[in-house]
Every structure is written in C-alpha cells, then in structure tokens.
Amino acid sequence: MAHKCSFLLSLLVTLVFLQLVNGATFSIMSYGAKADGVTDNSGALRKAWSAVCSASQPATLYVPSGQFLLHPTLFSGPCANSKIVVQVDGNLIASTDYNLYGAAGYIMKFNNVKGLSFQGGYIDGKGSALWTCKAGKGKCPYGAS
C-alpha cells in the first residue's frame, strides 16, 4: 500500500511540474473564433492574446485546425512572462480585400514581446489581388506587401 501511495504522489508531483513548465494553453475557439474561412477572427485572437500575455507562467496561444480569416491584428506587450508559444495547427488567412490593410503594412504584428516562438501552421497573405493591382499600375494601397 505504501508503494501505491508513493507512486500516486510521484505522479501528482510530476503532473504539477509539467503544468508549471508547459504553462497554460489558450485556444482562440474559447474566445469566439470560427474556423469557417469567412468570419473575421481578429477579435478572438486579440482576446486570447490578452489572456496569454497576462499569464504569469509560460503560455500558449492555440489556433486549432481550420481556416481562420483575420484582418490586421497587433499583438502588443510587454507580457507578464517571457515564454510564449503561438501554436498554429490550422491556417491563418488574410482578407482578399487589401483595402482593409491600408497603410498598416501587416497582417499580424507582434510588438514589444520577448520570448515569443511560432510553431506550425500556415499563414496565407492572399497577396495576389494586391500584386495584380500593383502590376496593373492601379490606385493600390500600400498593403502588406
């Protein structure tokens, strides 16, 4: 019986340690994101980022499988911790309406963030419409090119 209790206590300590090392995971789905490729998920990303950035332990912003449309999104620091992971298992897709980007010049921008790593995923800038406009010498915004 003592061995069984010792084993369970060791397992519990290990699980707590792993949670502290790996930190919390914040899925954009918990903040209202929709993986339909049509809904603007910028708000959900910003809300999840706020939770990740304010976490006192290492944290992960998680984008699951699916197509997630986003408009220009700024992720600002400084953050409460310096071990932040953005784990993308799906696709982050820019809008084909390049006028949304105006002079911003970015789809996603991380500002004043230390210890950030990006893992996996795919970012589709949908730049072909803007490049077609520029090649045709049209009145094109600066865009994120």
What pLDDT tens digit does each residue of the chain (145 aa) get? 665 656 545 544 444 443 445 689 999 999 999 999 999 999 999 999 999 999 999 999 999 999 999 999 999 999 999 999 999 999 999 988 877 877 677 889 999 999 999 999 899 988 787 788 778 877 776 655 4
Domain extent listing, the chain: 20-135
Query: What b/e string do you get for 33-54 counting C-beta neighbours within 10 Å, with b at 16 or more?
Result: bbbeeebbbbbbbbbbbeebbe
| pTM for this prediction | 0.78
What integer pLDDT is reported at residue 9 of this predicted model? 52
Phi, psi of 144 (to 5 degrees): -100, 45
